[in-house]
């Protein structure tokens, strides 16, 4: 009997001193909610954000005559050099240091140019802004004539953050854009990720 009493006492003490043995490791009654994941084979665009690409301003078909061609401009901001505007990538960009800002492309031959497109990074992180732009053309790189007068163009990620400037066909070996304002509060200069020239 003494042994039994001892064993019971030890058990009781264990229960008192180590509640974890009774509570901690025995899982409590649990009401569980499991949030399940959809079937996917790759990361997708969230359905609550429709793809805006369908609303993008279309660019002309045909060769972009400015792509990779020699380009010159005035002073630029930080690392945002002019060669970024015709490297084929919209995640790099040119930013001038102040206004007016000129940027000129050498097309490498004479073409009948009809359209110039100016693109910013299409990401919606680039908030809407307005830039004022004129287009000039030249066959010798010396004498430029106005192909499209200065006009304000709205850039909006909802339409691809791009604008196109259409004008009557003009002979051009050189195309120059002159930027005279940018409404963005984040910069004091002109901005362009890509400038494209089309016949």
> Is position 12 an interface residue for another protein (rule: CB under 8 A)?
yes
| Residue span binding another protein (CB under 8 A) among the ranges 8-16, 54-62, 106-114, 174-182 | 8-16
| Cβ neighbour number for residue 79 with a 10 Å cutoff | 8
11 or 169: CB nearest another protein: 11
Query: Mask of contacts with another protein, 153-172, x by CB under 8 A?
Result: ----x---------------
Nearest Cα to 167, choosing from 148, 144, 195, 139?
A: 148
Residue 41 burial (10 A CB sphere; 0-12, 13-18, 19+): exposed
> Is position 142 an interface residue for another protein (rule: CB under 8 A)?
no
Q: Can you tell me the distance from the alpha carbon of 138 to that of 170, in angstroms, rounded to the nearest whole number?
A: 9
> Is position 58 an interface residue for another protein (rule: CB under 8 A)?
no
Residue with tokens 């940027």: 103
Tokens of 46: 């969230």
Q: Can you tell me the distance from the alpha carbon of 48 to that of 90, in angstroms, rounded to the nearest whole number?
A: 25
SS3 95: strand
CB of 158 to another protein, least distance (A): 11
Which residues, 93 to 132, sit near another protein by CB under 8 A? 122-125, 127
> Is position 199 an interface residue for another protein (rule: CB under 8 A)?
no
Residues in touch with another protein (CB under 8 A): 1, 4-5, 8-9, 11-12, 15-16, 19-20, 22-46, 48-49, 91, 122-125, 127, 157
């Amino acid at each position: 009997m003494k042994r039994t009493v001892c064993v019971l006492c030890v058990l009781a003490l264990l229960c008192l001193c180590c509640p974890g043995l009774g509570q901690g490791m025995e899982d409590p009654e649990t009401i569980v909610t499991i949030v399940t994941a959809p079937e996917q084979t790759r990361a997708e665009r969230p359905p609550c954000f429709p793809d805006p690409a369908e609303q993008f301003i279309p660019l002309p078909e045909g060769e972009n005559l400015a792509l990779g061609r020699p380009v010159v401009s005035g002073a630029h901001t930080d690392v945002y050099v002019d060669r970024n505007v015709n490297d084929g990538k919209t995640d790099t960009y040119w930013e001038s240091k102040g206004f007016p800002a000129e940027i000129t492309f050498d097309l490498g031959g004479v073409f009948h140019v009809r359209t110039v497109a100016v693109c910013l990074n299409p990401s919606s992180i680039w908030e809407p802004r307005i830039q004022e732009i004129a287009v000039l053309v030249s066959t010798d790189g010396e004498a430029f004539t106005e192909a499209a007068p200065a006009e304000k163009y709205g850039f909006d990620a909802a339409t691809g953050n791009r604008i196109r400037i259409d004008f009557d066909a003009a002979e051009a070996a050189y195309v120059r854009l002159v930027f005279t304002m940018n409404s963005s509060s984040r910069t004091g200069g002109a901005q362009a990720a890509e400038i494209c020239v089309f016949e």
